[in-house]
Structure 1
Amino acid sequence: MDLSVEFAGLHLKNPVITASGTFGYGVELQQFGDLSQLGGIVVKGLSLAPRKGNPSPRVAETPCGMLNAVGLQNIGVESFLRDKLPLLPWQKTPVIANLYAHSCEEFGELTDMMAGEQGIAAFEVNISCPNVREGGAAFGQDPVQAARVTRAVCQRAGNKPVIVKLSPNVTDITVIARAVEDAGAHGLSLINTLTGMAVDIRTRKPLLGNVTGGLSGPAIHPVALRMVYETCRAVSIPVMGLGGIMCAEDALEFILVGAHAVQVGTGSFTGTGFAFSLAEKMRKTARKMGLDSWDDFRGQLDTTTG
């Protein structure tokens, strides 16, 4: 079976992409697998200036999941372009820059700095980070603001696809999805983490220095699946599904409800080679199911009863 997919103008050798914030800048994980065999790499979120992130502790384990409040710590776009991007196999695997900013103007400026970089294949616009006190939540929860950010990036992106990452912390995710589609987005990725918290009853303190953080892992998979299903039915642009993928079957579920590709996040914390092996596991599972192509399976969920 040919695993390759087309997504918003990108040719992916397989549908497995690493999720931002879970795979570093890609360079850190290359000792554990061949980066060129991935469908794509979404690098750690980038801002105009370096960010220190949130106070520690930043990660806490929960039943069937993980809370994180890293706070988008990063080296800044200039250092990334100079020190990290040249080390990535961007000639063989699309490298997608994840963008974070405080305003539409900053999003535009950040895009402008990378639009001419040959090694950047596309942009993923982070309007949905739940553990940063400024910016992210407001953009991701307001269709008007989400559309403004999308337009600001699209106007500066040149011929590079713009993918908007949606927040699940909304009443109706399809409202945001349609707003950014109308604003020019070429694709969507969803879901980002759900806002949550954990506390220690003995110390009477939160387990995260930021108090709240983003919940990921198997616990959010059913929520992610439902939101991807609803979004694929609401828009005409392609969708990347993510949220709690821990095996090939989880990834195939996203494709069945309509996703063109998937992103792997928390799974990489269970084993550094997880993302590298997932595509082959998906191939083997698809073969056992008798699938010849993704087109025969994508969006073919049977919702009839009786």
Structure 2
Amino acid sequence: MYKLKMLLRPAALGLCLLLALVSCGCSGNSQQDIAQAAAEYVLPEAFSSSWDGEEAYDFDYSSSASVHQTSRNVGSYPDDNRGETWTLLLYLCGTDLESEGGYCTTNLVEAAQVALPENIQVVFQTGGTKDWQLDFVDNSYLERYRLQDEGDVVLLEQVKRASMGKQSTLENFLKFGVEHYPADKYGVIFWNHGGGMSGAEFDELYDADSLTLDELNGAFNAVDTQFEFIGFDACLMATLECAMNLSDNAKYLIASEEVEPGTGWDYESIM
């Protein structure tokens, strides 16, 4: 059980906005116009100056306290889905996106705000980055956690550190999830950089070693379980080659043909 506090500061948000505008290369706008737009940007009410700069998301991972909800109510799940159990496996190769930007941590914070129904289990593995922004993650291991209702995060096990871009690493995690958290349906989400035909999950601790398409296919074949979906929160993975390699392993592929923001998906909404 852990306590996670993520800091968001208006000044930092303004800087991120400026960088995003510059990097997107808006047609017809000079850098001066972009800078002026960023300077005139008004922060949403949720990020107003009423904050003391020390609080954004405050999750108390203890047996006696629940998550402090700071965002909108995402609503309830349809009753007709409650008869089917789900296990969602998150393969989190943090790489420079986490060590330099803390973006994977941001996505975990989003996911922790969702009150999970009893029929959904979420298990994730951490690795592949030099520095996790989460204080409780030990970077000297590959660690497996379960996200529970009310935002509790429970450490399930630590295994010897290995490349997240290695087939056996993925295979072991998939087998762990399926064997220990059986369900009617399974889904997998890969979090990291993507390179299309060159694969995904580039581990910065092992010379950017990545999972090739053949390695992805080999790992899923070894598990001998058909997944409902395989998702890539990564760039450029919606290719014909990727779909063909994984077509026997899942019913649906969720991916992007284009580049994606480094900040990842909106996990509060999709979960």
TM-score of the superposed pair, with normalisation by structure 2: 0.39
Between Structure 1 and Structure 2, whose CA radius of gyration is higher?
Answer: 2
- Greater fraction of residues in strand: 2
